Chains A and B, each alone.
Chain A
Amino acid sequence: MRDKLRKWREDNCRNSEQIVDVGEELISEHASKLGDDIWIIYEQVMIAALDCSRDDLALTCLQELRKQFPDSHRVKRLTGMRLEALERYDEANKHYDAILQDDPTNTAARKRKISILKAQGKSTEAIRELNEYLEQFVGDQEAWHELSELYINEHDYGKAAFCLEELMMINPHNHLYCEQYAEVKYTQGGLENLELSRKYFAQALRLNNRNMRALFGLYMSASHIAASPKVSAKVKKDNMKYAAWAATQINRAYKLAGRGTKENKCSMKTVEEMLESMQITMS
């Protein structure tokens, strides 16, 4: 059971209910056998308990940790998180400020403050704080991703694209960033952005052959460019070729997926109809 918890910890899975079940059992019954591991398990279970609104469990874990490590920044951060979960945001903020006064390089406290702003719905302030944070800690991937999400929610696609570019540079082989970037570019619209998005959808597909979303995106962007009146004939022809290729691949994928089911023929037809309806027509 310890190994399961350890695996979840290392993979950063957020399966809080399972963690709470396994962890609670471990703590109540086998506390003595765990040795020094118990502290990190307390931390893991506490965060999972906050997720599942198990305040009682969270409180017990926190008290144990406080008894053992009275002056630790990490434990203070956990107290702050519990206050956040109880929606006592001002007290939580005071806690984090105290940590930051002591140790200005503590990234965890800063991030919690930003997430408080996000939880309170003050997204413009959250964006501003996150920008300041990133000015100092330029290498923090999590923060870039969070910022891009915030910008997408505010429909500021240009800045979101910038954040995603940073992420793509840091992880050039991650097809998901490529795909998200391509989607943002597609949403921005305009011929150049559509071309860029088509290229990045293709790149995402190249990195991972099975990314269906990127395949659909490729189809959409190619057909969109082909349908636009301003393009030259050659570009139109190229894009129709891309779109046709993407369509065949989609058909093939659905055929493979529907292998063995009786409704095979019907579903193929629906796929073709769907592709037809997705054609962008100039109105």
Chain B
Amino acid sequence: MAGPELLLDSSIRMWVVLPIVFVTFFVGVIRHYVTQLLHSDKKVNLEQVSDSQVLMRSRILRENGKYIPRQSFAMRKHYFNDAETGFFKKVKRKVVPKNPMTDSSMMVDMMKGNLTNVLPMIVIGGWINWAFSGFVITKVPFPLTLRFKPMLQRGIDLLSLDASWVSSASWYFLNVFGLRSMYSLILGQDNAADQSRIMQDQMTGAAMAMPPDPNKAFKSEWEALEVVEHKWALENVEEELMSKDLNFGGFFSQDIKSAVF
């Protein structure tokens, strides 16, 4: 029902809408700083560092191998890929799957994450329900179906009220997600107040340091290296060089007395 436009008391605007915005924002900022204070350094494993560097080297070999002579390239490819003695074939890392329940550092991290994120949400949600229930706050600019009514209109049991009118709880949630871009403006990228990103992280699972399975990474690198072939970039370099005259330009002027060699 399109319905007559409700006229809301302007004191609603002053005393409800704006306070919720401010409270959400400041709680977010405080959460960011608290996370930074509680942040514990990640201990890096020597093996992981070494593995990641080896993979980088193999990747560079694939990409820039054309700048070194054919024999050197073959030598390195052999080192990595040879059937019996190649690095990727021979080295199998023992993979210890990081069980979140038993790994103590992960447990602590998870608890800290939960504490700093979920707790404020619960607290503020409760406060809003207690303080600001029973009336509508604002109207969302697009029409909503009736299905949204029980969700967005907590505490208001008017069947005839348009679903576009929402209560304060939903305004709070809107703020939580909407202020994300404000946080990145003020606190810089990658800030801890960004809740939705943290929830995404939790959902994608424990993705720490290198891919949890270096064996898989090695295998895929091996395949990629097998396929690559060596096309030497320096085949015709002299011809190319001599076709264009060297451009000495303003290099030699009387004022420059620096050593050229």
Contacts and interface: CB of A to CB of B under 8 A. Distances in A.
Given A172-B67, A199-B234, A137 B240 contact: no
A168 B252 CA distance: 28
Main secondary structure of the interface of B (DSSP, over half): helix
B65 A210 contact: no
A138 B50 contact: yes
Contacts of B26: none
A203 B237 contact: yes
Contact of B57 (A138, A199, A256, A259): A138
Given A170-B64, A202-B237, A212 B53 contact: no
Interface in A206-244: 206, 209-210, 212-213, 215, 242
B185 interface: no
B72 A165 contact: yes
Interface string A120-151: 00000000000000001111100000000000
A253 interface: yes
Contacts of A104: 46
A249 B261 CA distance: 16
B84 interface: no
A169 interface: yes
A162 B79 CA distance: 13
A205 B46 contact: no
Given A105-B49, A137-B50, A169 B241 contact: no
A196 interface: yes
A172 B68 CA distance: 9
Interface residues of B, number: 32
A35 interface: no
B15 interface: no
Contacts of B49: 105, 136-137
Interface string A148-166: 0000000000000110011
Contact of A253 (B61, B67, B252, B254): B252
Nearest to B48: A105
A205 B237 CA distance: 10
Contacts, number: 89
Contacts of B261: 212-213
A172 B61 CA distance: 11
B46 A203 contact: no
A14 B242 CA distance: 37
Contacts of B69: 165, 196
A245 B64 CA distance: 29
Contacts of A209: 246-249
Interface residues of A, number: 38
B241 to A, nearest CB: 5
Contacts of A259: 252, 254
Nearest to A136: B50
A166 B64 CA distance: 10
A161 B69 CA distance: 11
Contacts of A252: 246, 248
B237 A199 contact: yes
Interface in B240-261: 240-242, 246-249, 251-252, 254, 260-261
B252 A139 contact: no
B248 A168 contact: no
Given A199-B237, A209-B248, A252-B248, 16 more contacts: A104-B46, A105-B44, A139-B56, A139-B57, A140-B53, A165-B68, A168-B64, A168-B67, A198-B238, A203-B234, A205-B241, A206-B237, A210-B247, A249-B246, A256-B252, A259-B252
- Smallest CB-CB A-B distances: 4 pairs: A257-B252, A139-B53, A169-B64, A136-B50
6 contacts: A139-B57, A170-B60, A203-B67, A206-B241, A256-B251, A259-B252
